Homo-oligomer: A and B are copies of this chain.
């Protein structure tokens, strides 16, 4: 199998390689006669240009890295779909990568993506301290942070209003009479987990409900960990009246654990979740939650990327904060207050 290159096409069409390129890119005047001859040759030879060679010249790959914590979490999946929705129209291709919340894996992935010369990177960092940002920028890779932001550095980012959302959920539980509220939080080195923790604390504080260390549980944004933490609560006899799940997958783990231990939601334990679980509408009881919009997040990220790529000037970096929708289900019991 012989490889077909511009050279072959040029030979067949009886023109130079430069002309072939001009016809294909349609960016310089070419006589109609020559044009048709070239296009004919292209067709006959079934020629496809080599994108790699092109990239080497142009310094653009049309590849965008999308790095998230957990590719099997539908939240990140939908986020990716949002990005794709915007970028595919512009003929970009996405490389999806999953860090599994490991900074080491993240580091490795980023190095590969730098080598691959992705034009831009959309990343959900697994630590709010992110030294690689400079390296990426030094390599002329546009970066947009998504869902999770950094403590210091200024970079474009799209995030949720985690603090307010968390405050709202906690406050809702308080209003329903709960004071024994466990927070199953994610990896605290992420801004999302940290801000949700802050919102929780703030609501408790406002409600004059003391914070109890035993109710701060680290679920590491993992279904399994969440399951185990609930198991521990049950076995220790420390069951709170409500569990606030820090994200969708942990909520799934919690619901499964309660189900397995024959505890009823909300009769035995109330449950709320930051983020909606898969097939939420098919599950009884409906879980009261904050519905994020990862697809929209992805779209916004895609749009920013496009803007950054096209306008080469350094735009002011921008923080987009998306609001969440509160969905009231039947997963929280009204507790009678003992006055």
Chain A residues near B (Cβ < 8 Å) = 1, 3, 46, 48-53, 55-56, 61, 63, 71-72, 74, 77-78, 80-81, 84, 91, 93-98, 111-117, 135, 138-140, 252, 255-256, 259, 277-279, 281-284
A46 touches B135 (CB 8 A): yes
Other contacts beyond A50-B56, A51-B116: 14, CB < 8 A: A46-B135, A48-B139, A52-B52, A71-B77, A72-B74, A80-B96, A93-B113, A96-B96, A252-B282, A256-B282, A259-B281, A278-B279, A279-B283, A284-B284
Question: With a CB–CB cut-off of 8 A, which chain B residues contact A95?
Answer: 63, 93-95
Question: With a CB–CB cut-off of 8 A, which chain B residues contact A56?
Answer: 50, 52-53, 56
Q: Name A58's closest neighbour in chain B (CB-CB).
A: B52
Q: Name A259's closest neighbour in chain B (CB-CB).
A: B282
B78 touches A117 (CB 8 A): no
A77 touches B81 (CB 8 A): no
Measured CA separation A117–B51 after assembly (Å): 7
* Smallest CB separation, A121 vs chain B (Å): 13
Q: Name A65's closest neighbour in chain B (CB-CB).
A: B93
Measured CA separation A67–B256 after assembly (Å): 33
Q: Name A2's closest neighbour in chain B (CB-CB).
A: B138
B281 touches A279 (CB 8 A): no
Question: With a CB–CB cut-off of 8 A, which chain B residues contact A117?
Answer: 50-52
A48 touches B115 (CB 8 A): yes
Measured CA separation A275–B256 after assembly (Å): 20
Question: With a CB–CB cut-off of 8 A, which chain B residues contact A111?
Answer: 48
Q: Name A255's closest neighbour in chain B (CB-CB).
A: B282
Question: With a CB–CB cut-off of 8 A, which chain B residues contact A63?
Answer: 95, 116
* Smallest CB separation, A186 vs chain B (Å): 19
Question: With a CB–CB cut-off of 8 A, which chain B residues contact A138?
Answer: 1, 46
Question: With a CB–CB cut-off of 8 A, which chain B residues contact A91?
Answer: 112
Measured CA separation A140–B115 after assembly (Å): 23
